[in-house]
Amino acid sequence: MESPYEHSYPSPELAAAHPFVEYAFDRYADDEMLERALAFREESERRRSIRLFSPDPVPRELIEQAVMAASTAPSGAHKQPWTFVGVRDPEVKAAIRAAAEEEERVNYLENRMNEEWLEALAPLGTDHHKEFLEVAPWIVVLFEQRFEQRPDGSTRKNYYVKESTGIAAGMFITALHRMGLATLTHTPSPMVFLRRLLGRPDNERPFVMFPIGFPLEGTRVPDLRRKQLDEVFVEVDRLA
């Protein structure tokens, strides 16, 4: 088949200077693609954030596999500017809970969160109590690497750090859901205490915290409505 591209990628000069391999891609028939799409959407529809975790243990290998899946996320200049820090030690989890609850107490009870924010959260019933941080068998904190620190002490800039880390976070959640685990995106603000408690270097900044485990039997979640297709997708077929 003749290529529709005038400028090939990689160029001969680029391919001579850097390694490239042929992309291994399986193209499915249209009906199979739709079947796969519908199955994934149905599975995704069952994903919920939970706040009551079972203390049942979760093998470390599952967490590792979710991290490796998340690390296939695209990133600016392929810098992969993230670090996943796993915690299952009870003492460390207790310290994280105590620090998170103090920040959240100020947020909820001392007016650091404005009325509009509190009104938006009201149907979810969230407050400053974060018991799940101790009960869940794992806490994984995702840190964004603002810049790269090299072994010789030099630094290099990372690109599109928040965008890249955000995509990795979404893929981490999806990987956990697919293997049968549950999680919650927890972002106590500010989160600087996590870098101190977990001994992370200066180039890392906490992005989001994930308590991970199995739902406690009988766990209830808000009966939320997700937006329909016409509320989240628009096709543009002419210039504005």
Tokens of 67: 């991290």
Q: What are phi and psi of 38, to 5 degrees?
A: -65, -40
Give the model's confidence band at 188: pLDDT under 50 very low, under 70 low, under 90 confident, else very high: confident
Distance CA 27, CA 50 (A): 36
DSSP letter assigned to residue 122: G
pLDDT at 201: 95
Q: What are phi and psi of 145, to 5 degrees?
A: -95, 105
pTM exceeds 0.85, yes or no = yes
Calculate mean pLDDT across residues 80-97. Answer: 98
Please, is 108 exposed, middle or buried when counting C-beta atoms within 10 Å of its C-beta (0-12, 13-18, 19+)? middle
DSSP letter assigned to residue 28: P
Q: Which domains does the chain have, with CATH numbers?
A: 51-217 (3.40.109.10)
pLDDT at 81: 98
Calculate mean pLDDT across residues 232-238. Answer: 96
Distances (CA, A) of 213 to 44, 52, 86, 182, 198: 18, 9, 13, 6, 20
Give the model's confidence band at 9: pLDDT under 50 very low, under 70 low, under 90 confident, else very high: very high
Give the model's confidence band at 113: pLDDT under 50 very low, under 70 low, under 90 confident, else very high: confident
Distance CA 187, CA 172 (A): 16
pLDDT at 2: 81
